[in-house]
Amino acid sequence: MSMQAQGWPQPAPEIAAAIRAMYRGKRQAPLPVQVRDRLGELFADAAFTEAFGVRGKPGWSPGRLALITVLQMVEDLTDRQAAEALRCDLAWKYCLGLALDDPGVDHTVLSEFRSRVVAHQLKEQVLDLLLAKLQQVGLVAQGGKQRTDSTHVISAVRDLNRTELAGEAVRACLEALATAAPQWLAAVIDVPGWSRRYAARIDTWRLPKAKTKPAQLATDYGRDGFALLEAVYAPSSPVWLRQIPAVQVLRVVLLQNYIRTTARTGQEVVKQRQAAPEGDGLPPGHLRLISPYDTDARWGVKGEMFWGGYKIQPPAPQKATSSSRSQPV
């Protein structure tokens, strides 16, 4: 298939007259009509020269095929539906400068065009041309911030409330220390007493039901965590214990969720942090751990969706250069 670059035809007079009659006054014209009126010849054929040969049967205008692809994506049409719109929709004929009786193209031409664009690494060409045209007519300004959509990914860990998180962080740290330094651990804590509290995973179903008891249990988890860290960081303890990941996770969980002060009587007071402005404040969500077993997971909110896990941003497109176009995709 060959291609000879040429300008787009003007909309057929009878089609233009019909469009003006149908959308006169305050009725908004369809998107294809607005695109042609405001942007004109959006995609020039010359931009796609390298994807087409100079010999053989002349093919359809690649610039207009590019615009068909854009309209197809905007209206969420299949190739067959896009080809049918090209035959029957006056707005599409107006946009592409087709005659009233023009049959358009077969739907297979659209997939062939996309394949040629991908094979010649012109995937960003349509977007680059569109952005350049939008800047030229003042519809897109340089600078500023641009938001990109993200994909939510749910982490493969249990959802924990703050009390469960504190208790589970202590339990994870105990298990790590029991594996790495069992003799040291037996010398610094009451192993039977701690085992009764932290033998099973911390679960809301096992927490006390009375309103005052869960709050007290959360405080007890905090006190146990601070006591365990004091033992790890004691001068007589092996320094390498501080480098155990579970120890570092426990430090962060306690810092993010607890306040430790000293009362006038000299007694240590441990309490959970509360959200501002009534309380002492909590770290921002993008910094706050939600599980001792997945330190990258965070609570995420998107519209009405709420989950524990991640937000994955799409990779930024890389513009092809003359040296990279010969490389495989």
**What pLDDT is stored for residue 65 in this prediction?**
84
Q: What is the mean predicted confidence (pLDDT) over 192-206?
A: 84
141-193 residue pLDDT tens: 666 665 666 778 888 998 999 999 999 999 999 999 999 999 999 999 998 88
- Nearest Cα neighbor of 1 from 120, 111, 116, 84 is 116
Give the Cα separation of 35 and 299 in Å (integer).
41
Least confident span in 32-41, 52-61, 124-133: 52-61
Between 46 and 258, the higher pLDDT residue: 258
**What pLDDT is stored for residue 321 in this prediction?**
45
**What pLDDT is stored for residue 245 in this prediction?**
95
Per-residue pLDDT at 281 exceeds 50: yes
**What pLDDT is stored for residue 210 in this prediction?**
57
Residue 327 binned pLDDT confidence (cut-offs 50, 70, 90): very low
Between 134 and 3, the higher pLDDT residue: 134
Between 29 and 140, the higher pLDDT residue: 29
Instruction: Among 59-73, 181-195, 230-244, name the most confident range.
Output: 230-244
Q: What does the domain layout of the chain look like in residue ranges?
A: 13-136, 162-296
**What pLDDT is stored for residue 145 in this prediction?**
63
Per-residue pLDDT at 254 exceeds 90: yes
73-114 residue pLDDT tens: 888 899 999 899 989 999 989 988 889 888 888 888 888 888
Q: What is the mean predicted confidence (pLDDT) over 213-233?
A: 91
Per-residue pLDDT at 328 exceeds 50: no
Q: 277: cis peptide before it, omega within 30°?
A: yes
**What pLDDT is stored for residue 202 in this prediction?**
87
Residue 127 binned pLDDT confidence (cut-offs 50, 70, 90): confident
Give the Cα separation of 75 and 32 in Å (integer).
11
Between 323 and 130, the higher pLDDT residue: 130
Q: What is the mean predicted confidence (pLDDT) over 259-275?
A: 88
State the chain's mean pLDDT as an integer: 83
User: Which pairing describes strands 305-312 and 151-154: parallel, antiparallel, or unpaired?
Assistant: antiparallel
Per-residue pLDDT at 211 exceeds 60: no
Q: What is the mean predicted confidence (pLDDT) over 202-208?
A: 72
**What pLDDT is stored for residue 5 in this prediction?**
63
